[in-house]
Structure 1
């Protein structure tokens, strides 16, 4: 099913937004088609179609290395910077927060919740004013605050981080905050370094 993303309705699909976020926000990196398909959670064929369109459109570059097709952002065009900025503020929270949190010791899991997660999951509404992040684990509080501030600057919006222990997250609880978070859309961040 083709769903126009409410996060950025100019795009054809959420997959296209995720693909662009991964590539445009990591312009120094080349990805294989397999890595892109895994990172976006779609089939190889779906990624090939999107990559083909974006290469023809001059947004991406690709090259062959043996049997692998490697893809990266094309940064030497006038559209790169404005498109990269637009993708950062819409689809950027997932790859940018995942990158940052995967490097911070003590982070077991992380989720985006609140209005950004709702828009990502297709709920209509205005663009989110901030990004709410739930971190499960025991990272250093100061380092976590600094990370949120740094990513927030890149996303052009505030990043609010709430840290809880793995035991609290796993337990069934009547805590109003956790109950509210669990009842609303959640987007789990992929903290696996393999696809970044």
Structure 2
């Protein structure tokens, strides 16, 4: 048996497929073509492969047999991967929509809460998020069921327990039972803050970014979304938001940054957003009405989704649509080159950047200049890691700013820090220049900024596929 396959026995089938595909140097398009040929089903396409790999869909046994042949993976391993994927899905891979800024509808949320397991269940956490974050509003059982993603029976049971604990108060309006938060309890302040920064994130993100015109879709992605879905991993340090504008509309950048700042202030953690345009012909039918338009609620607010393993939004397999033209042009001009295989991995670059930053901290007291050079090199490693995760790298003889140009175009102005540090490093080559003086304070300010940028790059790389 192939040792690589043996190591992946316990992985969900999506990760097994992706690992085997990359081992064979196949793109998602190439795998789909081979499956269509061998199965005799021309409807097989790249989108289905992407859904399999991202855990949005588990291939049926019929397709697992064809996958076994194409990927050279024993069928029993794929069957075991399907079982592992179903087990992971039972942890609660959630889809959340917000018809209005004050309502969060959650479906398929069952089991123990992943973000804050001190609660009894996701239903209880959902009830608390709805009531504590809207303390002056009363909710019916039906409304709480929409918010918490549970049945009326389970919501009624959890609400009664919270009422008995003094957290909720109940009144009746005819035959309707209405519940709201008990605002006179001093202990509710800390509990509300805890809910706000965990299960209140979708509501707050929806409230703030829905105020920006031209936004058609809001997706919570990255580390926070993975923890919400029950995928085990590190504590999320930042909230990653992917925004899709409405067709033929361009959101105001200042308004977006203001929304991110407001959300960050309320959530007490960084909020980063990217804009991923979606072509009309590639939008999923699941998000469309019969007329083909992206659906809107009565309030005109965009849909909000939690997508820990989000479906692709562009036919080329690149999640970060804004930089596609720039990257394609740089490939065409010979500034960037494509590659694949095990080397198409950003993690070694990110690890090297982390080591550079650690070394910079050590040498800064004795040699601020040397420490600053290490920080500049770490910035370049961050950019190179994001490119490597997409199977991209600067070609021999390319411009020195090729990497920074690429990541700025793809991931936004926050990566402009990479180019600024590159330019600053150039001044250090001239000992007599006025701008070559580096102090310990310069290093102390640069290191935290690069650490935050490195963390952002690691989170972004989770959603990247090979550029095609």
Query: Conserved in 1, the CA contact under 8 Å of 2:274 and 2:320?
Result: no
Query: Conserved in 1, the CA contact under 8 Å of 2:318 and 2:464?
Result: no
- Cα distance in 1 for partners of 2:464, 2:121 equals 26
- Cα distance in 2 for partners of 1:29, 1:75 equals 11
Q: CA RMSD in A?
A: 2.2
1:143: Cα distance to partner? 1.1
Aligned counterpart, 2:463: 181
Aligned counterpart, 1:140: 252
1:82: Cα distance to partner? 0.3
Task: Describe the superposition over 1:114-139 as per-residue Cα deviations: whole angstroms up to 9, x where unpaired.
Answer: 11111101112232111001111143
1:182: Cα distance to partner? 8.1
Aligned counterpart, 1:111: 219
The answer to whether the aligner puts 1:49 opposite 2:157 as a matched pair is yes
Larger Rg: 2
For structure 2, which runs of at least 5 residues remain unmatched after alignment?
A: 1-89, 91-109, 284-313, 322-389, 391-461
- Cα distance in 2 for partners of 1:32, 1:100 equals 25
1:21: Cα distance to partner? 1.2
SS at match of 1:87: helix
Superposition pairs for residues 1-196 of structure 1, below 5 Å?
A: 3-137=111-245, 138-167=250-279, 170=283, 171-175=314-318, 177=320, 180-181=462-463
Cα 1:58–1:72, aligned 2, differ >3 Å: closer, same or farther? same
SS at match of 2:463: helix
SS at match of 2:209: helix
- Cα distance in 2 for partners of 1:100, 1:64 equals 33
For structure 1, which runs of at least 5 residues remain unmatched after alignment?
A: 184-196
SS at match of 1:75: coil
Structure (1/2) with the larger strand percentage: 1
- Cα distance in 1 for partners of 2:177, 2:144 equals 11
SS at match of 2:275: strand
Cα 1:12–1:143, aligned 2, differ >3 Å: closer, same or farther? same
- Cα distance in 2 for partners of 1:173, 1:21 equals 38
Q: How many residues align?
A: 183
1:65: Cα distance to partner? 0.7
1:101: Cα distance to partner? 2.8
1:177: Cα distance to partner? 4.3
Cα 1:165–1:47, aligned 2, differ >3 Å: closer, same or farther? same
- Cα distance in 1 for partners of 2:209, 2:123 equals 22
